[in-house]
Each structure stands twice: as structure tokens, then as C-alpha cells.
Amino acid sequence: MSVVEETFDVVVIGAGHAGCEAGLACARLGLETIVFTVSMDSVAFMPCNPHIGGSSKGHLVREIDALGGQMGINIDKTYLQSKMLNTSKGPAVHSLRAQADKVMYALEMRRTLAETDHLTLRQGEVTDLIIEDGRITGVKMFSGAIYHCKAAILCTGTYLKARCLYGNVIEHTGPNGLKSANYLTQSLIDHGVEMQRYKTGTPARIDRKSIDFSKMEPQYGDQRVVPFSFTTDPDSIQKEQVPCYLTYTNEETHDIIRAHLDESPIYAGIIEGTGPRYCPSIEDKVVKFSDKQRHQLFVEPESAFSDEMYISGMSSSMPEAVQYEMYHTVPGLENCKITRNAYAIEYDCIKANQLYPTLEFKNIHGLFSGGQFNGSSGYEEAACQGLIAGINAAMEVLGREQIVLDRSQAYIGVLIDDLVTKENREPYRMMTSRAEYRLLLRQDNADLRLSKIGHEVGLISDERYEKLLEKERMIEEEIQRVKTVNIGANEPVQKFLEAHNSIPLKKGMKLAELVRRPELNYQMLADIDPTRPELPEDVQEQVDINIKYEGYIERQIKQIADFKKLEDKKIPEGIDYDDVSSLRLEAQQKLKALRPISIGQASRISGVSPADISVLLVYLEQGKYLK
Amino acid sequence: MESDTIVAISTAMSNAGIGIVRVSGDEAIRITNSIFQGCDLEKAESHTIHYGHIVVGNETVDEVLVMLMRAPRTYTREDVVEINCHGGVYVLQKVMEAVLSAGARPAEPGEFTKRAFLNGRIDLSQAESVMDLISSTNEYARKSSISQLNGALSKEIKALREKVLYEIAYIESALDDPEHISLDGYPEHLKEVVEPVISDIQKLIDSADDGSLLKNGINTAIVGKPNAGKSSLLNALAKKERAIVTDIPGTTRDTLEEQILIHGIHLNIIDTAGIRETEDVVESIGVKKSFEMMEHADFIIYVVDSSTPLDENDFAIMERIKDEKAVILLNKTDLTSVVTEDMIREHSSHKILPISAKNLTGLDALEEEIKHLFFHGDLRMNDEVYITNERHKYALVSSKKSLELVLRSIEDDMPEDFYSIDLMDAYKSLGDIIGESVEDDLVEEIFSKFCMGK
């Protein structure tokens, strides 16, 4: 029997948030790319929460955009409500979050894929990887078809051997009843890939018409919406926004949960996968934080095309009947009708320490992976890995050098480094506290940090890059001016200061000094700064932040310089750790298993001490590995 | 590649008159110059020697000769300054402290040699020994770290770290989930938490200054079977000599320790639990600890009760101390003895001295023996303890500085996320003291203490 046999440069397995970015990156770099999905109708599907961004995740979206990815543009086109979080705090933790219209989000992304040259979207289940001499050469489909390729990217999300559970009901499907992928795991294991099992969960969806919103507190978006994408004109996306609602669980809810705890598959021991602590089910919250009398819930719209509302804060795997009972105790949900049950989902994924920080498998040349398959969680975390895996697969096929973002360059760098270096025991979520250089890794300067790399890779146009250089120049010049301009202690100045509850000047002062006062900022000071040039808002923002927090920023720049020294010390691939006799045994084993690419990465492996690093430095210097 | 400036006392910490404090790095000359009176070292030629004084504030610490060597013709191929002091151990420490407070940091074990190697100063064939040196000195430092030698202090540091970590976790949870966790009124609360932590750290710094953070000196373990007279010996020595206050206020000690000065030699004497085969769980823990103490000790005083026959336990101890620096005391000479020197000599080659801890006889001979061992170089003060102590103090000072920055940020009305940056630095510095790195502590703390998420 003859089978379909085709040849592409790159095969992408999965069309979720990682797969879409991966596929788009490769195709945009001119490579013939095919993206497989188990269902053509579930491209860029959001199976859980209906929003993009949030604390630190908003940073990731900005970074994706700065590198030439799609997520930011897509949410700008399809948001229902948008809000900048943490605006009362420092600029490093400002974070954008937008409620997405799930239906539109998926459709818009699908259209983008459709309109991209060199990109083919194909329904079908990949069952086997074809690997020859340690290199990926193609994939085999359930139908028997074979697709030859030079590189492949695994973005299987939560679909591998997935099963959904609530109470004693087990459905052998992917999220939302979609077909799971049941064969690829075995092929991966056969090729020496180490797999593990994770779980996550989602709350029920409830019919808007059955909710009494008068018992809840409406939550509105920002007056003026800031776009995610640096390419989106803010004026073009202002629109009427849809509110979310705030309500709470109560003791009655908790009593019901406690009474039925043994019916939860997690507490009954049916679930084998490891779940994330940062998005605990309501059962977990009630058990772990038993002293809390109530838990906050956000009721979020899912789409303009449906009446479904997402009950954020109340994910569960309780039996259907118990779900009704517990949701009914919540103010406003007394008579609610569930449209989709809450459930827990289990799936296969890998231990990401089998990957280089480029997201290529250490043992399989040309095979890359991204997203929940790598043990992360969240749309944004998935998308950014998909983008990096896509870029590097393309670099590999094109014979160019792969890119690695380090911890001082981007949240993406922190995320990937954590995934591939540390021992993670639960789905990994981004958090601002994970980024040690976060004062410099702000969402407002993602373009300044990363678009140069995006341009070199080929995903950022010359035109966009020129604009960036111009922005850089304006910021630099204005900072210099603000540091040198003197403000005299004259009457208008004193009046201005008085009006802003700021101490009057005894004598003249540099403008920069005034910017640093907590009650003032660069933008306000325009009134007493007659020589100020007219500058775009984003430039003004950068000037303000850089001057206001200069002391802290300089400290972090110094720390980064130290960090880079170790990061730049590369460890040659063929190093034989058995030959480094002075290493402690534990360090030797860890290093052998993880094969870090740099001294910096080695130093972050748990069980490798500073003395081991010193020993390693001396060893490398010795040049013994060359023999 | 590493260019920050490091300092260490590079001669053995004996009570010999002359010692050298060595400084290496980009800032070595500038830092030394800032505490040196005699001439302007920054203008001095390379490879020259200068006479002058180390002066801190208005206090002259020592009369010194400073040898100045500019890169690259130096041991480390960096700028190196060697300060030749001649005021004994105490002055060496003061000079080193002066260099530290002028901006250097204490050298890591083997760091001068490591730098020499990395800067191409040492022949490649020596690499192996450099690596061994680093790992062995580091292993030694680990063994002599605070958590090994002073459980009480280690507990105190842990408690301080926990307080700091809790606050970081609180701030971070609020940043991560601003709609769940509020920071209203938080700065005032944080100030109330941080201020006492700062004063606790200051107390520890003070105790480092008076030498009781980690006791400099010869770590001496008194071992023997139960009722051999170990505690009586300790009391006898303490009564006869000047016992120095050893404890840190507010902490409890794990083992009984006294610091005693004998002929100008500091001995940190640790009284251990009696050693014998036992079924009793609690007692066997004590016995195990006694053996551990022996391992960490520089010098062992083995007390034998001459009024009861030698048994398996004595033989086990003698076997254990075979290769250690030790002296054997035949105690209870005031009673009828059944054990003779000859009986012990069959099993051990260590010096044997008859004493009576009860009647205070034989103690002079013991002191003479210790003096003899020390001045013949058989017994050396534990350099590493002193150096470790300096490193710990440096870490304490850093953590205090970081916490003071937190207070300043609160004062300056900085946004809350800035607090956690300095809190984290303080947390890290405190961790250096007890040899704990940060790893995933914060994320663990956030998830275990604060309920968040969808």
C-alpha cells in the first residue's frame, strides 16, 4: 500500500500557543513549515482562563512581541478588557493583563497562520519520530503518512496520553473533550526521552444568564488601554470594555468541599500527576489554608459569542453533583447553571533538563520542544518557548548560530534557564520573583532589550529596527540633558513645588534631582523645564524610570556584569567530567547528567558548590579537554 | 577575570611576632593606601617597600612595612600589597579588618592560588594541585563552618533568615497577585520587622569582634568514658586559668565550651559526652556527637579513670585518636589506681600524664605539654576558623547594610518591589554564614504561606 510522503524543512507538532509561535517563526524565516494539530478547529485554543498576561506573564508577551512573535498582536486585536496591574508599585512590576475573546483569539491566530507564506496547517496525529544517527529526519502519522524534515518542534501541550477527571468520571481526552494523542509518548521513550506526568485543572464555566451580578462587585478595565504589541497604535484599539466580577467563597462552600473531599480524585489518590501549587484547586485551598474564611473569585467573560463565564479561583475535580452544590453557595451563583464542568487533566511531558537552553534535545539533533510539553504552564510561558524553539529550529536548518537568551536579558531567559537547569517538580509558572535582574527586565523596555536580537534573527523588519534605534538615541540624549539642566530657585519653580507638596529649593538644582523626588516625576516637571524637547510618550517614560531609579538600576547593571563573566565562560561539549578528579562526587554526577553549556549554568545546578565551580574553571583553563 | 579585591592573613596564625596580610586585586593599592600613613602608595613605584602605620580613624593599629607590587609581576598577576605587621595575632586581625572595611572582601579558600592560576601565573602542570587545594581547603572550611562548630548561632541566623524570607514572600505574593493581596500600610509593618533584625545582627557583629562568634584558637576536645573526670578537668582548668565568656547572649549552647588562655595560647575546650557502648537512644546520640567532635578538634585530651580497668571503650578511643594530636591524662591519682602508664602505652604512643583533677595536681605538666606542642609547631591555631570568622562577619555586615537600605527605601517612599531586592540581598548574605544558598526558598515560601492563583 502506498503512503503519503512529503518533505518540509520544519515539522511543528501541535498548534497551541507554543506551536503557533514556532510555526510562524520558521515560516517567516522562509522555511517550508508544516504545523500538525489534532483538530483544525482548536488552533490557538485557550482551554483554561480567558486572559492573556498578568504579573510577569505580561512581561513575557511583551518580550515575545519584541522578538517578532504573534501573541501580543493577536490579543490586541481580540481583547474584551485590559488593565495594567501594579501601577502603584515600581515600574519593574507593572504588568499588562487583558481579557481575551477566546473565540476571536483563536480565529484571529488561525487566520494569521493561514495568511503566512511557507506555512501549512494540517490535521493529523503524529505517532512516531523518525530518528537516524541521533538526528531527527521526519515524523510518521497515525494514517501511516511520512513527513520528512530537517528539524521538528514538539509542542504537544496537555494532549499526550491526556485524561480528564472529575469525581470518579475519567474521560480519556485532551482538554475540553478534544482528542488526545496517545502514541507519541511511546516513541519518545523508545528514543531515550525521559517522560513524566503532570496535572492541572480548570474551573466550571457558567451561563451568564443564570448569574445574579448584583451580588458581585464589577471590575473594569483601564480608562485608556495600553497595547501589548509595540507595533499596535494605541488609538486603534480603544473600545467599549466588558467588566469582570468579583465574589467570594464562604464557610458553607468550604464545608461542602470538606464533606466531599474523599470524592475528589486527587484526595482519593486516583490522580498520579503532579499539580502546580500556584493554581491550586479550591479543594487544595480549603485544605491547605484552612484558616481562611473566604477565597476570592473572579468571574470573567469568555467571549462575545457565548454566554459562558469563567469562575477564576475555583478550579476543581469534584463530582459533577458536588460542583453544583458548591458553586451554588457563592453569592451571585445561587441559581447558576454550569455549561462545562470543572475538571483536572493529566498529561505526559518531559523533564526539561534533557534540553539545551536553545530548547534543542541534547541527545537528538534537530529536535526541539516548547510549552507545556517542557513542563511549564500557561499560554504565555508556552508561546515564548514556542518562539525560541521555532527560531532555533530555523537557525539550525539555515546553518546559523542558535540563540540563547540569558537571565539578564529577558524573563524568557529566566524561564528557559529555570526549566532546563533546575529540578522542577510541578508545572512551571513565571513569576517576577524568579527574575533576579527584574529592575532591568521591565515590560516597558522589552523592545529596547530584545528587538536587536529579533532583527538579527530576521523576525523584526529593518524599518521597525530603525525606529528602535531612533528611540534609543532620543532616550540617551534626553537623559543627558536632564542630568545637566539646572533648575533655578525662582518663583515659578517654588510655586510649582509647593503645588505638588514638594520641598522648595534653597538654591539651584539639577533637573535629575527633582525627578528623583518620590512625589515628582519627569513628565510632571515639564511645567518648569522650558528647554525640554517634544518627545513621544514611551521615550518620556524611559527617561523618567532611568533617572528615578538610577541607583538601583546601576547596582543591577554591575551584578549583571559579574553574572555575564560566568555566563560567557563556555564549557566545551566533549568535556569528560570523570577526568576532573577534584570535583565532589555529587557535582560530578550532576554535571555529567545535565551537561551545562557554560560555567554560569553549571553554577546554578543544585548540588554544584562554588568550590566545584572554581575547580572547573581551573580545569578548563588547563585546556586538558583538548587532548 | 575576577578583579574584585581580596584579603587574607597569609602567614600561619601562630603567636609568632611577624605576620603578613596580603591584598590582591584592582583596588589593592587604593584600599591599602586609604588606611596607610607614611607615603602615598598610589604614586609609589612597583616592587618597593614602605615604612608607615596602619591607621583607622584616629587609632594607630600597627607599625608596618608595606610591600607594593603592581601587576603583572606578582603572585596573582594582579596588584598585590603585602602588609608586614609585627603585633601578633590580634594586630593581624585588626589590620585585616581595616582592609575589609576599606572595601576588600575576605578571600575564599585557595583563592590567591586560583587567581594566580587563572591569570596564567602558575604552570599548567600545577593545575591538578591547585584543584586539590581548592577542594580540600573548601572541604575544611565547610567542616569548620558555623553550623558545624556553633549550633546555637546557626539556629539564630536561621531564625533571622526566616523572618526576612517571610517578608519577601509576602511582598512577592502581593506583586504576583495584586488583586488578592494588598500592601496597604505594609511599609510601616516592614519597618517594625526589620529594625529588630538589624539590631540582632549588630549584636552578632559585636560578638564577632570580641571573638566569640567563632572562637579563634585551638579546638580542644576532652574525651573519655563516663565519669572519667572530663568535666572536673574542664572546671579545674577554668578555675586555674582565666575563663573567657564564650556565649552569645540569648542563645543556648549545644555542647559545653570554655575558652581558656594557657601561656598566651587560646584553647577552645569542648567537653563531650562520655563514650561507651549503649542501648540508650539519647545517650548514643551523645556518643556519636563525641566522635564527631573528635573529628573536628585540633587537639584531643583523653581522660582515663585510673581507678577502673581499661575496657573496649578505652581501646576504641585510643584507636580513634591514633593519628590525632592528643595527650592522655591518667586521672584520679588521688584514688587507688588499677591502670598504669605501661598498660596504656601498649595501645597508644601519645604522651601520658598523671593528674588529679580533683586535687588540681598535674595540671602544670599538662600546660607545659600544650605549650611545648604549640611552640614546636606540632599544634597550630586553626587559621581556617579565624578566616571563616572574618568571612562570617563580612556577611553579617553586608546583610545589615542591605537591611538598612530597606529602611532607607521605606523612608524615601520607594515602591514596595524595591524592598524585596534589598531584603533578598540580606537573605543571601545571612545564608553565606551557614552555608545555605537561595535555591528555590522564595518560591517555596510563597506557595506554602500565601494562597494565590486562579
Q: Average the pLDDT over each of A150-154, A287-291, A545-549, B133-137 and give the range with the smallest value.
A: B133-137
Closest CB to B138: pick one of A85, A278, A611. Answer: A611
In a domain, A71, yes or no: yes
Nearest CA-CA partner of A118 in A368, A388, A397, A382? A397
Q: What is the dihedral of CA B310, B316, B317, B323, to 10 degrees?
A: 130
The Cα–Cα gap between A521 and A441 comes to 21
Q: For residue range A473-510, what is the model confidence (pLDDT) as tens digits?
A: 999 999 999 999 999 999 999 999 999 999 999 999 99
Looking at the complex, does the CB of residue B178 fall below 8 Å from at least one CB of chain A?
A: yes
Half-sphere exposure of A509 (CA within 13 A, CB side): 18
The minimal CB distance from B178 to the residues A85, A295, A438 is found for A85
Contact B176 A432 (CB under 8 A): yes
Whether B165 has a pLDDT exceeding 90, the answer reads: yes
Of B127, B131, B453, the CB nearest to A279: B453
The answer to whether the Cβ–Cβ distance between B183 and A89 falls below 8 Å is: yes
pLDDT > 60? residue B106: yes
Q: Is the pLDDT of residue B12 over 70?
A: no
pLDDT band at B436 (very low <50, low <70, confident <90, very high): confident
Residues 236-295, chain B: which have Cβ within 8 Å of A?
A: none
Please state, in angstroms and rounded to a whole number, the distance separating the CA atoms of residues A63 and A454.
10
Q: In 3D, which of A48, A91, A97 has the Cα closest to residue A72?
A: A97
Tell me: pLDDT of B252 over 60: no
Packing angle of the helix pair A71-78, A57-66 (nearest 10 deg): 110
**Which CATH number fits the domain that encloses residue A516?**
1.10.10.1800
Res. A174 pLDDT band, cuts 50 70 90: very high
Give the model's pLDDT for residue B217: 67
Assess whether the region B6-107 and the region B218-381 belong to the same CATH fold: no
Confidence (pLDDT) at A267:
81
Residues A206 and A256 in one domain: yes
Q: Which residues of B touch A288 (CB under 8 A)?
A: 451
A162 vs chain B: nearest CA distance in angstroms?
Answer: 21
Does any CB of chain A come closer than 8 Å to the CB of residue B360? no
CA distance A524 to chain B (A): 18
Whole-number Å distance between alpha carbons of A367 and A378: 22
State whether A375 and A255 are in the same domain.
no
The partner residues of A37 in beta bridges, in order of sequence, read A123
Distances (CA, A) of B18 to A357, B13, B92, B452: 53, 10, 9, 61
Same domain? A9 vs A127: yes
Per the CB < 8 Å rule, is A614 touching B415? no
Q: Does A46 share its domain with A178?
A: yes
pLDDT one-digit tens code per residue, B121-144: 766 667 777 777 777 766 666 655
Q: Does A208 touch chain B (CB under 8 A)?
A: no
> Which of A 31-70 lie inside 8 A of B, CB atoms?
48-49, 55-56
Confidence of residue B372 (pLDDT cuts 50, 70, 90): confident
A191 and A283 assigned to the same domain: no
Residue B381: band (very low, low, confident or very high) from pLDDT cuts 50, 70, 90: low
Residue B253: per-residue pLDDT: 34
pLDDT, position A56? 96
Of B447, B167, B164, nearest in space to A429 by CA: B447
Comparing A462-476, A515-529, B216-230, B313-327, the range with the smallest average pLDDT is B216-230
In the structure grid, which three cell numbers stand for residue A619, read together?
580545569
Q: Which residue has the cell 496597604?
A: B184
With CB atoms and an 8 Å threshold, state whether B178 touches A92. no
Bond before B72 cis per omega within 30 degrees: yes
Co-location of A377 and A329 in the same domain: no
Residue B285: pLDDT over 80: no
Distance from CA of B434 to the nearest CA of A (A): 14
Measured between CB atoms, does A290 come within 8 Å of chain B?
Answer: no
A74 in a structural domain: yes
Q: Which of A582, A583, A584, A616 to mutate to test the interface with B (most CBs of B within 10 A)?
A: A582
Chain A, nearest residue to B174 by Cα: A86
Does residue A590 belong to the interface with chain B, where contact is any CB pair within 8 Å? no
Grid coordinates belonging to A277? 501549587
Distance in angstroms (rounded) separating the CA atoms of residues B290 and B302: 12
Helix (H) or strand (E) holding B312: helix B312-320
Over residues A529-541, mean pLDDT: 95
Residue range A582-620, pLDDT digits in tens: 888 889 999 999 999 999 999 999 888 888 888 898 888
Last residue of a domain, one of A343, A373, A407: A343
Q: Is residue A111 part of a domain?
A: yes
- Domain with residue A123: its CATH number is 3.50.50.60
pLDDT tens profile B55-102: 988 888 889 999 999 988 998 899 999 999 886 667 888 898 899 989
pLDDT at A627: 43
Domain ranges of chain B: 6-107, 146-210+384-449, 218-381
Distance CA A457, CA A466 (A): 15
Q: Is the pLDDT of residue B251 over 50?
A: no
Q: Which residue of B has its CA nearest to A568?
A: B1
Q: Which residue, among A283, A431, A513, A605, would best test binding to B if mutated, counting the most B CBs under 10 Å from its CB? A: A431
Chain A residues in contact with B131 (beta carbon < 8 A):
580-582, 615, 618-619
Query: Hunting for cell 568535556 — which residue is that?
Result: A575
**Cα gap B165→B426, rounded to integer Å:** 10
Domain containing A187: what range? 5-200+347-455
Closest CA of chain B from A145, distance in Å: 41
Question: Residue B453 and residue A552: Cβ atoms within 8 Å?
Answer: no
Last residue of a domain, one of A313, A343, A373: A343
What pLDDT sits at residue A279?
75
Question: What pLDDT does residue B179 have?
Answer: 86
Residue tagged 498548534 (cell numbers):
A15
B218-381 classified as CATH 3.40.50.300? yes
From the list A86, A519, A552, the residue facing B175 with the nearest CB is A86
Tell me whether residues A617 and B118 touch, CB distance under 8 A: yes
pTM of the model: 0.84
Contacting residues of B for A298, CB less than 8 Å apart:
179
pLDDT tens track for A237-263: 999 999 999 999 999 999 999 999 999
Report the pLDDT value the prediction gives residue B140, as an integer from 0 to 100: 61
| Contact A282/B at CB under 8 A | no
Does A54 fall in a domain? Answer: yes
- Whether A563 is in a domain gets the answer no
CB contact under 8 A, B131 and A296: no
Whether residues A441 and A578 fall in one domain: no
Which residue among B2, B127, B175 places its CB closest to the CB of A89? B175
Closest CA–CA distance from residue A404 to any residue of chain B (Å): 22
**What does the angle CA A272 – CA A276 – CA A281 come to, to the nearest 5 degrees?**
85
Q: What is the DSSP string of B186-229?
A: HHHHHHHHHHHHHHHHHHHHHHHHTTTTTT-SEEEEEEESTTSS
pLDDT at B384 over 60: no
Residues A51 and A83 in one domain: yes
Which residue of B1, B77, B176 is the best one to mutate when testing the A interface, meaning the one whose CB has the most A CBs within 10 A? B176
CB contact under 8 A, B134 and A618: yes
* Residue of chain A with shortest Cα separation from B424: A436
pLDDT in tens, A180-237: 999 999 999 999 999 999 999 999 999 999 999 999 999 999 999 999 999 999 999 9
Does residue A30 have a pLDDT over 80?
yes
> What is the nearest CA distance from A183 to chain B, expressed in angstroms?
32
In a domain, A467, yes or no: no
What is d(CA A10, CA A367) in angstroms, rounded to the nearest whole number?
A: 10
Q: Among A27-36, A416-425, A533-542, B251-260, whose mean pLDDT is lowest?
A: B251-260
A279: chain B residues, CB-CB within 8 Å: 453-454
Q: Which helix (H) or strand (E) holds B113?
A: helix B111-118
Any B CB within 8 A of A530 CB: no
pLDDT over 90, % of chain A:
89
- Cα A198 from Cα A424, distance rounded (Å): 11
Among A118-127, B190-199, B238-247, the least confident range: B238-247
Partners of residue A603 in chain B, C-beta under 8 Å: none
Q: How many domains does chain A have?
A: 4
**A183 part of a folded domain:** yes
CATH of the domain at A615: 1.10.150.570
pLDDT-derived band at B245 (thresholds 50, 70, 90) equals very low
Is residue A334 over pLDDT 80? yes
d(C-alpha A500, C-alpha A511), whole Å: 16
Question: Among residues A283, A310, A343, which one ends one of the domains?
Answer: A343
Computed over every residue of chain A, the mean pLDDT equals: 95
Q: How confident is the model at residue B453 (pLDDT cuts 50, 70, 90)?
A: low
Confidence of residue B247 (pLDDT cuts 50, 70, 90): very low
Q: Which of B89, B91, B80 is nearest to B113 (CA)?
A: B80
Q: Is B411 helix (H, G, I), strand (E, B) or coil?
A: helix
For residue B454, list chain A residues with Cβ-Cβ distance below 8 A.
48-49, 203, 279, 312-313, 315
Q: Do A90 and B418 touch (CB under 8 A)?
A: yes
Predicted local confidence at residue B16, as pLDDT? 60
Is A306 found in the same domain as A275?
yes
Higher pLDDT, A339 or B257: A339
Whole-angstrom CA distances from A467 to A24, A383, A472 are: 23, 25, 9
pLDDT digits (tens, 9 = 90+) for A128-148: 999 999 999 999 999 999 999
Same domain as A427, residue A312: no
Q: Does position A84 have pLDDT exceeding 60, yes or no?
A: yes
State the CATH class of domain B6-107: alpha beta
Third-level CATH fold of B146-210+384-449: Four Helix Bundle (Hemerythrin (Met), subunit A) (1.20.120)
Same-domain check for residues A451 and A506 = no
**Phi, psi torsion values for A461, nearest 5 degrees:** -70, 160
Mean of the per-residue pLDDT values of chain B: 81
Are A432 and B117 an interchain contact pair (Cβ–Cβ within 8 Å)? no
For chain B, say whether A432 makes contact (Cβ under 8 Å): yes
If asked whether residues A24 and A155 sit together in one domain, one would say: yes
A460 falls within a domain? no
